[in-house]
A and B are shown apart, each in its own frame.
Chain A
C-alpha cells in the first residue's frame, strides 16, 4: 500500500514539475512600459545634481586633521588604552608560538571555513573554548566586531523582540539593525524597567494572540560602563518570560570568576541557562577574532547562517593558535585571575580618592570607567584625555567618559601615577 502511494505521489510530482517547468519557460511577463517623456528625461539627467559623496566641507577639514593617534612608544609611558589585561600581548612565549605557526601554516588562510579554510588549529581552538566553558560547541569568527553583529543577525528575525540594555555596545546595535527585529531598551542594569517592558510586550502578545520570540542581549561587563550585569536576576526573569539570553562576554571571559570562566562563574550561574555566549579573542586572549559558544543545537546554525562566518575568510591560523596557547596558560595558572581582580580592586580604591570623579565601573572590573562628578561634558573630557596623553598616560574616551584598562602587572607606583595624573587633569579643566 505504502509503495503504491509513494509511486502515485511520485508520478504526481513528476507531472506537476514538468507542467511547472513548461509554464515557467513559456510564460513571459508582459510588462506595460510606461514611456518616459524623453525631453523631460534629458532635462532631468542634465539637471541632476547629486550630493557629494561625503560632506565636502567637513571632509576637506579632515584631510588636514590627525585622526589616528599612533601607538605610544616612548619609554615610561603608561598605555592604558591597550586591552592587555593579562599582559599576554608582551608575552614572548606566545610570540614564539605564533612564529612556529606562521612557519607551518603561513599567514592567511586563503578561504572561508567552508572552502578549505578550516585549519586544524581552528578546530583545536573551538574545542578548547567549548571544553574550557563546559559547553558543546564553538564557532570562530575572524573579527571581534563582526562576531557579535553576525551572531545576533543569525537568530533574530523580523518579527522577533530584542530586549537590551541601553548601554549596549555598538557591535550589537549593528546586529540589531541587520536583524530588523523590534528592539526594546531597558535602563542600565535596571530589572524593574525590564520587567515593565516585558509586561508591555506580553500585552501585545495577548492582543495579537501570538507568542513572539524574545531575546535578551546583555554584556558580562558592559563595555561602556564597566559594570557587571546582574546575571542571576536576568536569568530568573528570562525563564519567567521564556526569553533566550545572548550574553556578550567580551570583557569578562578569561577575566571574571575564580578560574576565568567569566561572569557565569562569578555569579555561579549554570551555563546551560545561557543560550549563547559571545566572546572576543581580542581582550584577555591577546589575539584578534571572536567566538560564540553554547549548545550544538544553537551554535551549529551559525555555520550556515552567520554571515561573517560563511562569507569571510577564516581567522589567520597563527591568531587562533595564540589564543589556544593563552587558554592553556589560563588552565595551568588559575591564580592569574585573582591577581588581576586584586589589581582591579586596588585601582578602584585608589580612584575613590579622587573627589572630582565619579567611578562608573564596578570594583572588580578591569575595565575602568570614570567621569566628572560635576557637569561632565565632551569638551572637558577631551581636555582630560589630552592632558593625560601629554603626561604619558594614555586612556580612551567615549562621549563624556574616560575609559582605561587595568593590567595584571601594574605596580602600586603606576596606580598612584595614574590617579595623580587624573587629579592634576581636573585642575586644568
Chain B
C-alpha cells in the first residue's frame, strides 16, 4: 500500500488496504464503529465529485471519519508540497471525541436543572448581597433578569474556581494567593497565605514565561532603551525598530512574505476582519471559533454560516450550497454569487483540544475558490517540528493560507497578535487596519520578548534550546494523553494537542475537581456552559515544555485518585495496560 495511508498511533485496529488513493492524506481517525459511534453516512449522489470512481469510503473496516477528499486538487497540492523531492509523510490524525453514555447525559441534564431550581429557591429566600443602585430609581434595569440570576445564584456558588489570584510567574509552578469566602461566594478575602501549585492552567506552552533568562533580559534592555510604551499609533510615529524587526522575524518564521503585529490578540481578530469583509461576503465559521473571531465577523457585516466543529463534509456541503444558490433575497431567477467566501478556522481549538483538518480544508478552499483565515493562537509554537503551528504540523505550504493569524500571548509568554500573508494583503492592512490607525503600538518590552523567543525558536541564538523545548512539549503531550487514556477518563481532542480537556459533564463535579486538585497543589481550569456546550463541562489542562516528567507523574497520580473519588472514569474504551516509557515515545518525524 502507498505510504500515504497509515495507521494511527496507538490504534490497534486494522487498516483497509484497498483503493488507497481514494483516501488521500491518510486522515485516519480512531476506530469509531467499534464503540458504537455514529458513522457519517454518505449518499453517493450528494458526494458528487467527492470520491473517485464513486466508491464509498465505508469499504474500510476501520472506518474513516469521512476524511475522504476530492482527489484531483488534492493530489496537486501534495505534488506541490514536495519537500526535497520526496513526499513528507502525511500526518495521521488521531483524534477522539468519545460521547457520554445515555445515563450520563440524562444525569447531567438533571443535575443542571437541579442547580437552576435550587438557585431559584435560594433567590427567593436569600436576597442578593449587593447594594441596590443608588439614585437610579425608575431607570430601566441594566441587566435582564436571567443573567443577573445566573451570575448571582448559579455561577456564584462555583465562583471560587475561577479568577484565582496568583503572585508569581505563570511558569511550571505558580503561587496562588489563598482566599476564603465567608458568605458562600459573595465576597472573598485573602488569608495572607500562599500555595505553590503545579501549573496546569496557563497557556505557557513552551515555558517562555520566565522572570530571567535571555528573553526577559532583552525585554528589560529594550525597556530602558525605548521606554514602557511608544505613546503613539503604529501609523503615526509609534513604530520603533523593534516593531519592524519583529514583523520581519515573524514573516520569516512563518514563511510568508510579510507580517503585521498588534498589541492585543483579541483586537487583532476583532479589528482586522472588518477591514477586508463587508456585506455581500460570506463567512463559513467553525462552530467552536473563539469570541474574538465571532466579534470580528459580526462587526464586518458579512453573512455568517456556521459549520460543525472540524467537520469537513459539512463545510463542503455549505460551500456547494452557497456557490449554487449565491446571495439570498435576489429577484426571482437572478443569480448573484457571493462577493468573497472566507473560511475561518483555528489551529488548535482551546476548548476542544482538537486540531484543524488543515489539508482537507486547503483542498476545499482551492476547489471552491474560497479564502482561508487560520487563527493559530494556541498552535503557533506549540505544534509542528519547528514550532511553526499547524501549517508545519501538516507539512502544508504557508502560502496556501491567505491569512495566518496568531497571538504572542501563549507560547511566546508575551502579549499581542500578528497577521501574516502576502505582501499585498499586509500592506493593505497596514494602511486600513483600525488597530494600526487608532490603537497604541505594542509596548517595546513586549515586542522584545517575542523577538527573543522567535530567535530561539529559529535557532538564531546558536543554542538548541528552541528545538529542545518543542520536543519536550510534544513528548509531554503524548505521554500525558496516553496516561490519561490508561486512567480511563475521557480526554477530548488530538493526541498532539497540548490542550487537554477532561470531560466531567456535571457542573458540580467540575467545581469539585478544581477544588480538590488545588488542595493537592495542582492548578487547573474548569470550563462549563457558556464556554462549552451545555452538557459538556470539562477540566482543561494545558501542558508546557517547562513541566518535567516527575511533575506530570505527580499530576497523573493525583488525577487518577480524584477521578476515582469523584467519578470521572467515563471512558468505555479498552485500556492499554502496557506501561508507557516516557523516553521512547515517538515524536514528530
Known: A108-B413, A109-B170, A116-B199. A102 touches B237 (CB 8 A): no
Is the Cβ of A311 less than 8 Å from the Cβ of B290? yes
Is the Cβ of B140 less than 8 Å from the Cβ of A242? yes
Q: Which of B13-21, B223-231, B484-492 contacts A (4 or more CB under 8 A)?
A: B223-231
Q: Let me know if A170 is at the binding interface, CB within 8 A.
A: yes
Q: Distance in Å from the Cβ of A199 to the closest Cβ of chain B?
A: 18
Q: Distance in Å from the Cβ of A157 to the closest Cβ of chain B?
A: 8
Is the Cβ of B165 less than 8 Å from the Cβ of A95? no
CB-CB contacts below 8 Å: B405-461 with A: 407-410, 412-415, 423-425, 427-428, 430-431, 434-440, 442-443, 445-446, 449
Known: A102-B219, A110-B170. A143 touches B264 (CB 8 A): yes
CA distance A123 to B165 in the complex (A): 8
Q: Distance in Å from the Cβ of B62 to the closest Cβ of chain A?
A: 26
Q: Which of A60, A67, A103, A105 contacts B235 (CB 8 A)?
A: A67
Q: Let me know if A248 is at the binding interface, CB within 8 A.
A: no
Is the Cβ of B446 less than 8 Å from the Cβ of A44? no
CA distance A12 to B139 in the complex (A): 38
Is the Cβ of A178 less than 8 Å from the Cβ of B295? yes
Q: Distance in Å from the Cβ of B213 to the closest Cβ of chain A?
A: 9
Is the Cβ of B338 less than 8 Å from the Cβ of A242? no
Chain A 354-396, CB-CB to B under 8 Å as 1, else 0, gives 0000000000000000000000000000000000000000101
Is the Cβ of B210 less than 8 Å from the Cβ of A106? yes
Known: A116-B202, A244-B139. A102 touches B321 (CB 8 A): no
Q: Let me know if B266 is at the binding interface, CB within 8 A.
A: yes
Is the Cβ of B142 less than 8 Å from the Cβ of A213? yes
Q: Which residues of A contact B169 (CB under 8 A)?
A: 104-106
CB-CB contacts below 8 Å: A20-72 with B: 20-21, 25, 33, 35-36, 38, 40-42, 44-45, 48-51, 53-56, 58-60, 62-63, 65, 67-72
Is the Cβ of A116 less than 8 Å from the Cβ of B170? yes
Q: Which of B26-34, B84-92, B364-372, B562-570 contacts A (4 or more CB under 8 A)?
A: B364-372
CA distance A209 to B224 in the complex (A): 61
Is the Cβ of A70 less than 8 Å from the Cβ of B237? yes
Tell me the nearest residue of chain A to B244, going by C-beta. Answer: A70
Interface residues on B, range: 35 or more
Q: Which of A36, A56, A68, A174 contacts B234 (CB 8 A)?
A: A68
Q: Which of A146, A169, A298 contacts B267 (CB 8 A)?
A: A146
Chain A 76-111, CB-CB to B under 8 Å as 1, else 0, gives 000101111000011000110011001111111111
Is the Cβ of B212 less than 8 Å from the Cβ of A115? no
Is the Cβ of A272 less than 8 Å from the Cβ of B424? no
Q: Distance in Å from the Cβ of A351 to the closest Cβ of chain B?
A: 20
Q: Let me know if A282 is at the binding interface, CB within 8 A.
A: yes
Q: Which of A258-266, A316-324, A336-344, A421-429 contacts B (4 or more CB under 8 A)?
A: A316-324
Is the Cβ of A71 less than 8 Å from the Cβ of B238? yes
CB-CB contacts below 8 Å: B363-397 with A: 367-371
Is the Cβ of A111 less than 8 Å from the Cβ of B201? yes
Is the Cβ of B323 less than 8 Å from the Cβ of A48? yes
Q: Which of A105, A111, A177, A286 contacts B228 (CB 8 A)?
A: A286
Is the Cβ of B170 less than 8 Å from the Cβ of A118? no
Q: Which of B129-137, B472-480, B573-581 contacts A (4 or more CB under 8 A)?
A: B129-137
Interface size, chain A (Cβ < 8 Å): 118
Q: Let me know if B587 is at the binding interface, CB within 8 A.
A: no
Q: Which of B135, B223, B241 contacts A102 (CB 8 A)?
A: B223
Q: Distance in Å from the Cβ of A290 to the closest Cβ of chain B?
A: 10
CB-CB contacts below 8 Å: B1-21 with A: none
Known: A118-B165, A311-B291. A319 touches B228 (CB 8 A): yes
Q: Distance in Å from the Cβ of B216 to the closest Cβ of chain A?
A: 6
Is the Cβ of A36 less than 8 Å from the Cβ of B324? yes
CA distance A275 to B439 in the complex (A): 25
Chain B 190-220, CB-CB to A under 8 Å as 1, else 0, gives 0000000001011110000111100110011
Is the Cβ of B412 less than 8 Å from the Cβ of A394? no
Q: Which residues of B contact A282 (CB under 8 A)?
A: 229, 231, 440
CB-CB contacts below 8 Å: B28-50 with A: 45-46, 48-49
Q: Let me know if A4 is at the binding interface, CB within 8 A.
A: no
Is the Cβ of A312 less than 8 Å from the Cβ of B431? no
Is the Cβ of A51 less than 8 Å from the Cβ of B135? no
Q: Which residues of A contact B167 (CB under 8 A)?
A: 119-120
Is the Cβ of B449 less than 8 Å from the Cβ of A110? no
Max chain A CB contacts within 10 Å: which of B132, B229, B438, B525?
B229
Q: Which of A68, A118, A303 contacts B166 (CB 8 A)?
A: A118
Q: Let me know if B523 is at the binding interface, CB within 8 A.
A: yes
Q: Let me know if B549 is at the binding interface, CB within 8 A.
A: no
Known: A21-B109, A54-B276. A178 touches B298 (CB 8 A): yes
Q: Which of B201, B299, B409 contacts A108 (CB 8 A)?
A: B409
Tell me the nearest residue of chain B to A146, going by C-beta. Answer: B267
Q: Let me know if A230 is at the binding interface, CB within 8 A.
A: no
Tell me the nearest residue of chain B to A33, going by C-beta. Answer: B46
Is the Cβ of B202 less than 8 Å from the Cβ of A71? no
Is the Cβ of B266 less than 8 Å from the Cβ of A307? yes
Is the Cβ of B166 less than 8 Å from the Cβ of A120? yes
Is the Cβ of A144 less than 8 Å from the Cβ of B166? no
Q: Let me know if B105 is at the binding interface, CB within 8 A.
A: yes
Q: Let me know if B239 is at the binding interface, CB within 8 A.
A: yes
Known: A118-B166, A286-B228. A242 touches B138 (CB 8 A): yes
Q: Let me know if B252 is at the binding interface, CB within 8 A.
A: no
CA distance A298 to B148 in the complex (A): 11
Known: A18-B106, A63-B423, A108-B446. A178 touches B409 (CB 8 A): no
Q: Let me know if B123 is at the binding interface, CB within 8 A.
A: no
Is the Cβ of A316 less than 8 Å from the Cβ of B415? yes
Is the Cβ of A115 less than 8 Å from the Cβ of B438? no
CA distance A44 to B114 in the complex (A): 53
Is the Cβ of B201 less than 8 Å from the Cβ of A98? no
Q: Let me know if B232 is at the binding interface, CB within 8 A.
A: yes
Q: Which of A21, A213, A319 contacts B106 (CB 8 A)?
A: A21
Tell me the nearest residue of chain A to B205, going by C-beta. Answer: A110
Q: Let me know if A191 is at the binding interface, CB within 8 A.
A: no
Is the Cβ of A54 less than 8 Å from the Cβ of B424? yes
Q: Which residues of A contact B314 (CB under 8 A)?
A: none
CA distance A287 to B263 in the complex (A): 12
Q: Which residues of B contact A105 (CB under 8 A)?
A: 168-169, 211
Tell me the nearest residue of chain A to B141, going by C-beta. Answer: A213
Q: Let me know if B171 is at the binding interface, CB within 8 A.
A: yes
Tell me the nearest residue of chain B to A54, going by C-beta. Answer: B428
Is the Cβ of A89 less than 8 Å from the Cβ of B369? no
Is the Cβ of A304 less than 8 Å from the Cβ of B164? no
Is the Cβ of B237 less than 8 Å from the Cβ of A145? no
CA distance A298 to B131 in the complex (A): 11
Tell me the nearest residue of chain A to B447, going by C-beta. Answer: A107
Q: Which residues of A contact B238 (CB under 8 A)?
A: 71, 81-82
Is the Cβ of A53 less than 8 Å from the Cβ of B340? yes
Q: Distance in Å from the Cβ of A8 to the closest Cβ of chain B?
A: 13
CB-CB contacts below 8 Å: A278-313 with B: 282, 286-288, 295-298, 300-301, 303-305, 307-308, 310-313
CA distance A144 to B435 in the complex (A): 11
Known: A48-B369, A50-B339. A95 touches B427 (CB 8 A): no
Q: Which residues of B contact A109 (CB under 8 A)?
A: 170, 409, 415
Is the Cβ of B339 less than 8 Å from the Cβ of A51? yes
Q: Which residues of B contact A40 (CB under 8 A)?
A: 324
CB-CB contacts below 8 Å: B98-152 with A: 102, 105-106, 109-110, 113-114, 117, 130-136, 138-140, 142-143, 147, 151
Nearest 7 pairs of A and B residues by beta carbon: A312-B266, A313-B409, A143-B264, A62-B427, A59-B424, A145-B439, A82-B231
* Known A145-B440, A174-B271, A288-B443; 5 more pairs at CB < 8 Å: A81-B238, A104-B169, A116-B166, A174-B270, A307-B266
What are 21 A-B residue pairs whose CB atoms fall within 8 Å in the complex?
A20-B109, A51-B340, A53-B340, A56-B424, A65-B431, A69-B237, A70-B239, A71-B239, A72-B237, A82-B237, A107-B446, A116-B199, A142-B415, A146-B267, A149-B270, A174-B271, A286-B228, A288-B229, A296-B131, A304-B155, A308-B267
